[in-house]
Amino acid sequence: MNNLALLNQERKLSKTYTFCLKDSNKIIAFLTLSASQLNTGDARIFGIDKVPIVLLGRLGVDNNYKNKKLGIALINIALEKSLEASKIIACRLLLVETTLDIKSYYLEKVNMGFEWFRDRKNSSILFIDLKKYEENLQ
């Protein structure tokens, strides 16, 4: 997994952020971000047919470090990095596709500002509006 993450990063396909233990450098949590888009099909939203987004591709936490809020910390990092990116090359949403069992965690248990977008067969698509995030930091 480390090799693939680095390879993707070298190829500029995705960027991986990790939490590592200070002494051993062991990875205990990670997430990946990449540029993507929402396709509006034949219709348009705000006059465009593809909404630029940051896709939160993978988020994982070592089983030994579950329930320590590492996932929330990673979402914080994802929000800040996405906002930073949006100031250079516009992107409106931070989008995540999560399993249905984790959906309620994102939406209810921890209020992180995620909004529900669509359920798929085995997953749910949620997003945070980066504009709202930026406007509500003060």
Would you tell me which residues interact with another protein (CB under 8 A)?
A: 1, 4-5, 8, 13-14, 16, 22, 32, 34, 38-41, 43-46, 51, 57-58, 65, 68-70, 72-73, 75-77, 79-80, 92, 97, 110-113, 115, 117-118, 120, 123, 125, 129, 131-133, 135-137
Q: Which is nearer to another protein, 64 or 89 (CB)?
A: 64
**21: Cα separation from own chain's centroid:** 22
Rounded Cα distance, 37 and 53, in Å: 5
Q: Which is nearer to another protein, 88 or 96 (CB)?
A: 96
How many CB atoms neighbour CB 39 within 10 A?
8
Dihedral sign for Cα 94, 100, 105, 108, please: positive
Nearest approach in angstroms of CB 13 to another protein is 8
CA distances from 74 to 51, 56, 63, 71, 99 (A): 24, 10, 16, 5, 17
Q: Which is nearer to another protein, 31 or 88 (CB)?
A: 31
How many CB atoms neighbour CB 63 within 10 A?
7
Q: Which is nearer to another protein, 27 or 110 (CB)?
A: 110
Nearest approach in angstroms of CB 90 to another protein is 13
